[in-house]
Every structure is written in C-alpha cells, then in structure tokens.
Amino acid sequence: MKRLFSALIALALLSSCDNAQQEYFTKSVTFPEGATIEQKIDIASRIVPTPQQLEWQNGELTAFLHFGMNTFTGKEWGNGRENPELFNPTELDCEQWVRSLKESGFKYAILTAKHHDGFCLWPTATTEHSVKNSPWRDGKGDVVKEFRDACDKYGVKFGVYLSPWDRNAECYGDSPAYNKLFIEQLTELLTNYGEVYEVWFDGACAEGPNGKRQWYDWQAYFEVIHKLQPNAVTAIMGDDVRWVGNEGGWGRETEWSATVYTPDSHPNASQNGELGINAMSKDLGSRELVAKAKMMYWYPSEVDVSIRPGWFYHAEEDGRVRSVANLVDIYFQSVGRNSVLLLNIPPDRRGLLHETDVENLKQFNQYINSTFENNFISNGDKLSKLAEGESRTYRVAKDAIVNTLLVQEDIAQGQRVESFLVEAYSNGKWQYLTEGTTIGYKRLLRFSDCQPEKIRLTIRSSRGDANISGVGLYYAPMLEDNSSSVRINDLDSNSWSVVGSDDRTAIDGNRESVWRSNALTPLVVDMGKEEEIKGFCYVPAKENLTGTIYKYRFSVSTDGEKWSECDCTGEMSNIKHNPIPYFVRFGNTYKARYFRLEPLQEIDGNKCTSIAEVGILLQ
C-alpha cells in the first residue's frame, strides 16, 4: 500500500514540473511503471534521509565496543558452549570507555550486548547464558546498564548490537521458537535501558544444533523496534544504515546514499539479485543501475573497522593497534567518502579500553580537530545551488598553504553530484587541482601542498541542481606511519619445501603470490628440520577471495608418515569479511618437521583452495 502511494506521488510529480523541485521522497521510492531514465534520475535526486538518518550521518563517528565471552577465551567467534564463569573482568569501568570516546569525538557508541556465542551482557530472563551466572559482581552485574549510564553521563548516544546468530540457544534453527526468544531479548534491551539510538543486526546465519537452518523474522523484529524505539536507526540488516561492504576501513570513491541496493531484510530484496548486486558491489547507484531498478532507497554507508586486527581484545595484538596515521587515513576514506565511521575499540580483560588504543584515539582526535579548525576559505559555508556545468569561485586566505579539500552537499535535499572538478588560481592562471565523483554528506580529497589565491568548483554532472553546503581548504600535516608490518612467520621459509609439488607460492614469503587449487587440497610442508611449534598463521589472498579457507584441520608430523592433529578451533572465524592474516595459537607445543593445513570448507562452500602464505609461530 505504501509503495503504491509513493508511486502515485511520483507520477503526480512528473506531470507538475514546477512543484517537482519542492517534493521529496523520504527513505524510499518506487518508480512509476514506464518511467524514463530521465524521470527516474529526477526522482532519485529527491530521495532524502529521515531526520534520524540525517542526525546519525552528522555524528560522523560511532564507536563499536566488542566485549563479551570472546574477550576471556581469546576467540573471535565463540561456539556458545563457553562456561559463563569465564566472564570476569577485574576492573570494569564503562565510564572510562565512554569518557575516552567522548574526548576523542565519538557521538554514538554501540555495545555487543550479545555476540554470536549467545552470551548476554545483561541479566536477561531469556537464558541462563549471561552475566548473571558469572562471578563478575557476584552475578548481580549488568554491563548494558553500566554502559548506558556512562553514555548518559557523557552525552554519547547509546546503541546496541544484538546478534541474531546465536550458537548457544538450543532452539536456534527451530525458527518460530528462536524468533520468539530473539524478540524477547530485543524487547528487554529496548524497554529497560532508556533511549536507544542505533540497533545493529549482523546478517550471519547458520544451522542450529538441530541441523535446521534458522529463518529470521525481520519484519517482526523491526516492528518491535519501531514500537519501542521509534527514533533508533537500524543498521546492516536494518534499513537505515548500510554495511559498506568491507571491514578494512574504506568507503567507495563513488558512494551513493541514494542507492538501488535494497536492504537485505526487505521483502523486495530480490531486486538485488535482479540487478546483480550485493553489499560489496563497486557500483550501487550509477545511472545504468537506476535505469534498471524498480525501487530506490536512502540507505547510507557505514564503514565498520577495528582499531586492532580482531574485533575482540586479544593481548597478543597489543603491538598491532592502528597508528594515528592509519586512523587518519581511515577517516579520510570513510567520513571523507560519504560514510559514517564505526570504529571498534574492544575493552580488555580488565574491562578497560587499553592504554595504547586510548592514546592513539586521543591523538587521532587532536589531529582531526587541529586540521579542520582552520578553513582557509571564509565563505565556504554559504549554500550554493549550482546547475550542471556551473562553477563557483572561492577566495583563499592570503599566503595560505593548503593540501586538503572538503566539499559537502546539503543531503536534506538529496544526493545529486555525480562528478566535480576543482581548479586553483595562482601566478595569473587556472590549473587543475583535484576532482571527484560523488560528494554526498562529505567528500575529502588530499593533494600536494599548494598556495592558490582562489579555487573554482565546477559541477561536471549532477542529478538536478547541486546543493553545495560546505567548501573548505585545509592544511593536513603529513604523518609518518611507524607501525611495524605484521610478522606472519617466526621461521625462515627459504629452506622449506612443499611435499609432492615444486610450487612454493604458499611459502615463498611473498603475500602477493597466491597458491590456488581447484579442490579442497591440503598443503603439506617439509620444514627441513624439527621445530617446537605453538601455532600457525594463514594469510588469505588480498584480491579474489575465492578459495579462502574457512574450516580446516591442522596436523603435524616428525617423519611425514605419522600425523597428529593440533588442538585448535578449526575455524577461521569471520575471515570472509575480514580477510587479514589469521593467527591460530594452539595453547600446546608440538614437535614438528612437517605440517599439513587441510581445508575442510571454503568461505562460500566452493570446492577450491587459495593460500597467499602460511607461517609458523614459535611464541
């Protein structure tokens, strides 16, 4: 009914052109039957965010806090059979988390109230698998409540992550029963903790202990949210905030918030298949796609990335916290590419944000603030309506040296710019400075230091008049990235050989060369001499992830004949979405001259294998 209504409005608009410029479609629109591409583009230019989406986008920085059972077991994905007694932070202090986040510029913060292992950080009535059966605060604690109170104290907007995938719930896979349980959990969180600003649902889904696949009743979940927290934005499986498509910390150069990508939980998500797109596709909003689409959405991107290699805290990653330079790059590639940055800072086993993470965040914030407090253009915040082909010139403060451009569209009037050019005037002539495609909420571009007298912004192509709401020129000092590169092998692999093959690409020390096989083929390596090994590292390919190992068996041998299987989880949890070197530590030491990495399941269930590198860990 709602869809029919918006189609009727769209038709009416097409026939009353004068009025058309004033009319907008909030959040979604269905194109009228038979609309031409010009008509569709015109409608696309007038899709606008809801007030909640707009407020969320203006916040720019959201913090993610992955904390729970995995913090204490050292895993990234628990299997749900962990003993609640393992959860025992010694100095939990949510005020320390939120104060650090607030001081570092974060406006929203989201806590993993329940991750895939099903352990609940609040004393839920729905399961025994929660803080109430942990020794922490004698089973009387409530992390969600303490976090909420801290958010209130520091004026940070509170959000929750509640994993639909639950490896603990016995009824998982018995769809109606689990949906009921999930709704009860959601209801508790959305009733007992005051205002919730963002609800984050991951899409992961697998078979339950009963072997049945769970079917999630998204519509029922969203009804609960709309009823209990009508102002919350819903993310990822929700339809307000879109997953950018990677966990590496970068948005697309061309990032459309007005997109043809249908939220996966929508009944009409089949449009994605028809258009041949998914959340990871490069193009989610070109004219070619709009021409083929039936519906469009205001569905802006959120870049989720962790300050550490994993989402949860692991002490062995203390030396691998992202540097300030790296965080700044991520800011430019997320907020500066029309996205919100959702940065994960995982509390440690004490229940505190680690000192290194806090320090890097603080310096990151100082850098961003000091860079963007000096705009060398004085009238850049005057709204300009620019038609395609039109330009506007801005005077630059005398003798200013600049290397960074900021441009913004007034997205309350839609996202329109498809491409733009910026030229700089100095020594009596205009010269190319930089260019870009989409702008949206914010676009940041860096270039070499220069000293222009003025700059000229030209809208090369746009969906209707562009509403430019901000233009700035800044000086962003170069930062040296002195974070060391990750060591993936404690041994020298030069003397190693692959048993039964001359192909050394998986052990040649070069992460660019990838060993590939058309089957689930084990890799057997002879290290030449016996070693005492404590773990291994698997490096997936950087591009073309086909063949990336998800489930595996790892075995060792001293003679190449008798093998013993090493004690490990057998699962490279989350490698599909975070394809970085995966470190497996056995917790035991094994004597080995030979090792065998045996793939059991590829990330998408394909029968093939790819290995960029395998290393051995001695520590």
Nearer to ligand FUL, 122 or 595 (CB): 122
Nearer to ligand FUL, 301 or 415 (CB): 301
Q: In sequence order, what are the beta bridge partners of 234?
A: 199
Residue 343 beta carbon to ligand FUL: minimum distance, rounded to whole angstroms: 11
Nearer to ligand FUL, 156 or 303 (CB): 303
Residue 572 beta carbon to ligand FUL: minimum distance, rounded to whole angstroms: 12
Angle between helices 94-103 and 355-372 (to 10 degrees): 20
User: Which residues lie below 8 Å from residue 507, measured CB to CB, with a gap of 6+?
Assistant: 493, 496, 498, 525, 613, 614
Residue 239 beta carbon to ligand FUL: minimum distance, rounded to whole angstroms: 18
Residue 115 beta carbon to ligand FUL: minimum distance, rounded to whole angstroms: 6
What stretch of H or E contains 224?
Answer: helix 218-228
Residue 200 beta carbon to ligand FUL: minimum distance, rounded to whole angstroms: 8
Beta strand 454-462 with 384-386: parallel, antiparallel or unpaired?
A: unpaired
Q: Using CA atoms, how far apart are residues 328 and 368, in angstroms rounded to an integer?
A: 8
Q: Enter the tokens of residue 120.
A: 């609940």
Long-range contacts of range 70-73, CB-CB < 8 Å, 24 or more positions apart?
A: 70/115, 70/117, 70/312, 71/312, 71/313, 71/346, 71/347, 71/348, 71/349, 72/349
Residue 478 beta carbon to ligand FUL: minimum distance, rounded to whole angstroms: 31
Nearer to ligand FUL, 322 or 577 (CB): 577
Q: How many residues bind ligand FUL (CB under 6 A)?
A: 7
Cβ 600 vs Cβ 544: under 8 Å: no
Residue 168 beta carbon to ligand FUL: minimum distance, rounded to whole angstroms: 15
Nearer to ligand FUL, 235 or 433 (CB): 235
**Nearest alpha carbon to residue 256 among 291, 212, 289:** 289
Nearer to ligand FUL, 302 or 602 (CB): 302
Residue 450 beta carbon to ligand FUL: minimum distance, rounded to whole angstroms: 39
Beta strands in 475-514 (DSSP E): 497-498
Q: Using CA atoms, how far apart are residues 5 and 32, in angstroms rounded to an integer?
A: 10
Interaction residues for ligand FUL, span 63-82 (CB under 6 A): 76
Answer yes or no whether residue 304 interacts with ligand FUL by CB under 6 A: yes
Answer yes or no whether residue 545 interacts with ligand FUL by CB under 6 A: no
Answer yes or no whether residue 442 interacts with ligand FUL by CB under 6 A: no
Beta strand 466-474 with 25-26: parallel, antiparallel or unpaired?
A: unpaired
Interaction residues for ligand FUL, span 560-599 (CB under 6 A): 574, 577
Interaction residues for ligand FUL, span 179-208 (CB under 6 A): 202, 204
Nearer to ligand FUL, 76 or 423 (CB): 76
Q: In sequence order, what are the beta bridge partners of 417?
A: 462
Find the distance separating the first CA and the last CA of the chain, reported in whole Å. Answer: 62
Q: Enter the tokens of residue 476.
A: 């962003």
With CB under 6 A as the contact rule, the residue among 72, 87, 106, 311 that binds ligand FUL is 311
Nearer to ligand FUL, 203 or 209 (CB): 203
Residues binding ligand FUL (CB under 6 A): 76, 202, 204, 304, 311, 574, 577
